[in-house]
Amino acid sequence: MTNSTSLRTHSCGQLGAAHVGSRVTLAGWVARRREHGDKLAFLDVRDFSGVMQCVIDDGTDARSEWVVQVTGTVTARPAGTVNANLSTGEVELTDCTVVVLNAAEPPPFPIDQRADEVDENIRLKFRYLDVRRERMQRNLRLRASVNSAIRTAMEGQGFVEVETPLLMPSTPEGAREFLVPSRKEPGSFYALPQSPQLWKQLLMVAGVDRYYQIARCLRDEDLRADRQYEFTQLDAEMSFVTKDDVLAAISRAVLAAAHAATGETPPPIEQITWHDAMNRFGTDKPDMRFAMELVELTDAFVGTAFKAFASAPSIKGIRVDAATYPEAAAIGRNKLDQLTERAKQLGAKGLVWIKVGDAGALESPVAKFLSDAEKSSLVAALGATSGDLLLLVADEWSTTCAVLGQLRNDLARPPVHEGPYRYVWVVDFPLFIGINPTTKKPQPGHHPFCHPHPDDLVKMESDPLHVRALAYDLVLNGWELGSGSIRIHEPELQRRVFQLLGIDDETADRKFGFFLQPFRYGAPPHGGFAFGIDRLVAILAGEENIREVIAFPKTQSGLDPMTNAPGPVDVGQLNELGLRTLPRPAN
């Protein structure tokens, strides 16, 4: 690849000792000017590739962020003036001619590492200046190479890139949609896709066999560090496959992306069942970089006199190991009260804390209610030693898992980008995740097109909550990267699932007719997956926030400080769309 254009012969960062003696022309921005009188000034010229020091002896005025074109001779720096901190630090440009291509106002913040400390709102307001910085250039280029590796991996496996519509009918299940008013059909609306889910399944019916797309998805839900209104997924679907075929194909793309970003290929991605993930880590997106696993204690308290434990279906505990987490294990009464409050917010009735004293004596407000046998089996089960802090929750199984899983994260989870990358497939998700309190019907865990596990079909009606789905998630360091499933391709089974959900034929036809009718014409067995590229790239880039790997992101309230979107529109535009706005509700 060459960086030369009509206005330059090289890029700044590519020059080095090998170019000494060459006459070159660079173009870029003035990163810094160091003046030593009329006869000598150093101009650091920056472009996307790096910085080159230019020695100026004619007093040319060129200040921070002015756009310049510099022609000079690549020269080895004099002894003692080499800058080891700069990739181009062995050389400099001498005998320079500077052409000012554009002057510039002083930037609102320094275009270097110091801007990491600048208020993010200001960075976003001047995002075009923020992106000039090395960190953002690196992140965007990392993202591009991840995209490229994914494309190569998918195409190498026979996946065909197909673009799918952004304007589609509203299918109001799931995430809140962005709506687009129709001009030709006033009062009617398109929806923007939450994902290309329906389209890609139709492509399987259409015989495409293997589809992929680096697809933009849009969801009108509240924003977070790992969530934007619009985000990008690798979306894929394949025909005539089982779960393992899908996991293998997606694994290749993920590992290729990781290799492109880090230069290293991670080990094969391990698998854990959803039930094991919940049991051991208390969450369906386990962060397996650290231990502190949940320990089953229900059997240790059979027949206990302690009322809070006596009738609980599930008792679990975690051990905050004093050797690994000295600060967390040694927290005082005040912090323990806060932990208890946190547990209650998470749905627990309470939190039992036990401190293990020097002689192994248990110190706890509830110690007096526990028998010696219970104490010793508790200590044995948790492997507790002096100085440890033990946290116990007794409740429904799902609650003990969820509460302790969250406390485990609160107490010991490192920042998402730190430490080794621990990819894990979470498999065998339940088909339903509980009963809707109003409709009394089961709620789908993923979407209603997930294929039930064939072994569990017999208990679909009798015991729906214990039916597994052929559904799976990909998790990295405690972040859900994505999910997928084998889909239902048999109309009869689909009808059966809809019936369980309380969706009759007529309703199903009205809501999903355009999607279901094609399945009558011979749908192949198929399944797929989608994972979030923003999240993957953020972690691989060492960022804790996906905004850092998006060129123009929105703030947490969904605004763009640079363009001021969203904004009002002309009444004429509204009239054309047949729309009228309501006054904003008074506060």
Partner RNA sequence: GGUCCCGUGGUGAAGUUUGGAGUUCACGCCGGCCUGUCAAGCCGGAGGUCGCGGGUUCAAAUCCCGUCGGGACCGCCA
Please select the residue that binds RNA; options are 3, 97, 273, 555, rule is CB under 7 A.
Answer: 555
Q: Which stretch binds RNA (CB under 7 A): 89-97, 183-191, 316-324, 456-464?
A: 89-97
* In the complex, minimum distance from the CB of residue 135 to RNA, in angstroms, rounded to a whole number: 13
336 contacts RNA (rule: CB under 7 A): no
Looking at residue 298, the DSSP 8-state letter turns out to be G
* In the complex, minimum distance from the CB of residue 96 to RNA, in angstroms, rounded to a whole number: 11
Please select the residue that binds RNA; options are 58, 155, 221, 363, rule is CB under 7 A.
Answer: 221
* In the complex, minimum distance from the CB of residue 182 to RNA, in angstroms, rounded to a whole number: 22
Report d(CA 519, CA 447) in Å as an integer: 17
User: First and final CA of the chain: distance in angstroms?
Assistant: 58
Encoded tokens for 238: 């394949």
* In the complex, minimum distance from the CB of residue 212 to RNA, in angstroms, rounded to a whole number: 18
Report d(CA 385, CA 379) in Å as an integer: 8
* In the complex, minimum distance from the CB of residue 550 to RNA, in angstroms, rounded to a whole number: 12
53 contacts RNA (rule: CB under 7 A): yes
Cβ neighbors of 364 (< 8 A, separation 6 or more) are 352, 353, 354, 355
* In the complex, minimum distance from the CB of residue 547 to RNA, in angstroms, rounded to a whole number: 7
- DSSP 3-state assignment of 476? strand
* In the complex, minimum distance from the CB of residue 264 to RNA, in angstroms, rounded to a whole number: 27
- DSSP letters for 179-245: EEE-SSSTT-EEE--S-SHHHHHHHHHTT--EEEEEEEEE--S--BTTB-SEEEEEEEEEES--HHH
Encoded tokens for 466: 């214990």
Site for RNA in 21-50 (CB under 7 A): 32, 34-40, 42, 44
Q: Which stretch binds RNA (CB under 7 A): 83-91, 158-166, 360-368, 380-388?
A: 83-91
* In the complex, minimum distance from the CB of residue 557 to RNA, in angstroms, rounded to a whole number: 4
Site for RNA in 383-402 (CB under 7 A): none
Q: Looking at beta carbons only, is 143 or 554 nearer to RNA?
A: 554
445 contacts RNA (rule: CB under 7 A): yes
What are the C-alpha distances in Å from 415 to residues 127, 131, 218, 308, 479?
25, 24, 27, 35, 11
Report d(CA 322, CA 389) in Å as an integer: 7
* Amino acid type, 84: A
Report d(CA 179, CA 584) in Å as an integer: 19
Q: Which stretch binds RNA (CB under 7 A): 152-160, 202-210, 216-224, 256-264?
A: 216-224
| Count of residues interacting with RNA (CB under 7 A) | 68
Please select the residue that binds RNA; options are 3, 9, 64, 364, rule is CB under 7 A.
Answer: 64
Encoded tokens for 358: 């020097």
Site for RNA in 121-150 (CB under 7 A): 121-122
Cβ atoms of residues 205 and 523 within 8 Å: yes
Q: Looking at beta carbons only, is 273 or 443 nearer to RNA?
A: 443
**Residue from 221, 213, 226, 211 nearest 158 by CA:** 211
67 contacts RNA (rule: CB under 7 A): no
Q: What's the sign of the alpha-carbon dihedral 233, 238, 243, 244?
A: negative
Looking at residue 360, the DSSP 8-state letter turns out to be S
Site for RNA in 557-586 (CB under 7 A): 557, 559, 561
Q: Which stretch binds RNA (CB under 7 A): 157-165, 219-227, 235-243, 502-510?
A: 219-227
103 contacts RNA (rule: CB under 7 A): no
* In the complex, minimum distance from the CB of residue 131 to RNA, in angstroms, rounded to a whole number: 16
4 contacts RNA (rule: CB under 7 A): no
* In the complex, minimum distance from the CB of residue 224 to RNA, in angstroms, rounded to a whole number: 4
Report d(CA 33, CA 70) in Å as an integer: 14
Report d(CA 532, CA 541) in Å as an integer: 14
Cβ atoms of residues 538 and 546 within 8 Å: yes
Q: Per-residue string for binding with RNA, 150-189, x by CB under 7 A?
A: -----------------------xxxx-------------
Q: What's the sign of the alpha-carbon dihedral 100, 101, 103, 109?
A: negative
Q: Looking at beta carbons only, is 37 or 583 nearer to RNA?
A: 37
* In the complex, minimum distance from the CB of residue 355 to RNA, in angstroms, rounded to a whole number: 26
243 contacts RNA (rule: CB under 7 A): no
438 contacts RNA (rule: CB under 7 A): no
Count of helices and strands (H, E) across the chain = 15, 22
Q: Could you list the residues that contact RNA (CB under 7 A)?
A: 32, 34-40, 42, 44, 53, 55, 63-64, 77-78, 80-83, 85-86, 89, 92, 94, 106, 108-110, 112-114, 117-122, 173-176, 194-195, 197, 219, 221-227, 345, 443-448, 545, 547, 555-557, 559, 561, 587
